[in-house]
Amino acid sequence: MPVPDLPCPPDAGRLRPQTLAVRGGQHRSGFQETSEALYLTQGFVYDTADEAAATFAEEIDRYSYSRYANPTVTTFQERLALLEGAEACLATATGMSAVFTAVAALVRSGSRIVAARELFGSTVTIFDQILPEWGVRTDYVTGTDPQQWERALATPADVVFLESPSNPMQDVLDLARIARLAHRAGAVVVVDNVFATPVLQRPLELGADLVVYSATKHIDGQGRCMGGAVLGGTDLVQGRIRTLYRMSGPVLAPFNAWVLTKGLETLPVRVRAQAAAAADLASWLEAQQGVEAVRYPFLPSHPQHDLARAQMSGGGTVVTVTLAGAGGRSSDEAAFAFLDALRVVDLSSNLGDAKSLATHPATTTHCRVDPQLRASMGITGGTVRLSVGLEDVEDLREDLEAALAACRGRPRPKE
Ligand SMILES: *Cc1c(COP(=O)(O)O)cnc(C)c1O
Give the chain's residues under pLDDT 70. Answer: 1-7, 410-415
- Ligand 1 atom showing the smallest separation from residue 163 Cα: 13
- Ligand 1 atom showing the smallest separation from residue 194 Cα: 13
Å from CA of 34 to ligand 1 middle:
32
Q: What is the 3-state secondary structure (H, E, C) of 140-166?
A: EECCCCHHHHHHHCCCCCCEEEEECCC
Neighbours of 239 (CB within 10 A): 12
Å from CA of 190 to ligand 1 middle:
14
Instruction: Confirm if 290 and 408 have CB atoms less than 8 A apart.
Output: yes
pTM, 2 dp: 0.95
pLDDT (tens digit per residue) in 358-399: 999 999 988 888 888 888 888 999 999 999 999 999 999 999
> In whole angstroms, what is the distance from residue 319 CA to residue 165 CA?
11
Pocket test for ligand 1, best of 122, 161, 169, 191 (most atoms within 8 A of CB): 122
Pocket test for ligand 1, best of 94, 191, 194, 387 (most atoms within 8 A of CB): 194
Instruction: Confirm if 409 and 329 have CB atoms less than 8 A apart.
Output: yes
pLDDT (tens digit per residue) in 25-59: 999 999 999 999 999 999 999 999 999 999 999 99
Query: Looking at residue 414, what is its pLDDT?
Result: 58
Instruction: Confirm if 25 and 74 have CB atoms less than 8 A apart.
Output: yes
Query: Looking at residue 415, what is its pLDDT?
Result: 55
- Ligand 1 atom showing the smallest separation from residue 216 Cα: 7
- For ligand 1, atom 4, name the residue with the nearest CA: 95
Query: Looking at residue 413, what is its pLDDT?
Result: 62
Å from CA of 241 to ligand 1 middle:
19
- Ligand 1 atom showing the smallest separation from residue 228 Cα: 7
Pocket test for ligand 1, best of 118, 216, 256, 351 (most atoms within 8 A of CB): 216
Could you tell me which residues come within 8 angstroms of residue 247 by beta carbon, excluding any fewer than 6 positions away? none
Q: Which protein residues touch ligand 1 with a CB less than 6 Å away?
A: 94-96, 120, 163, 167, 192, 194, 214, 216-217, 226, 228
- For ligand 1, atom 6, name the residue with the nearest CA: 95
Query: Looking at residue 14, what is its pLDDT?
Result: 85
Å from CA of 350 to ligand 1 middle:
9
SS3 label, residue 211: strand
Å from CA of 379 to ligand 1 middle:
18
The domains found in the chain, sorted by start residue, are 268-407 (3.90.1150.10)
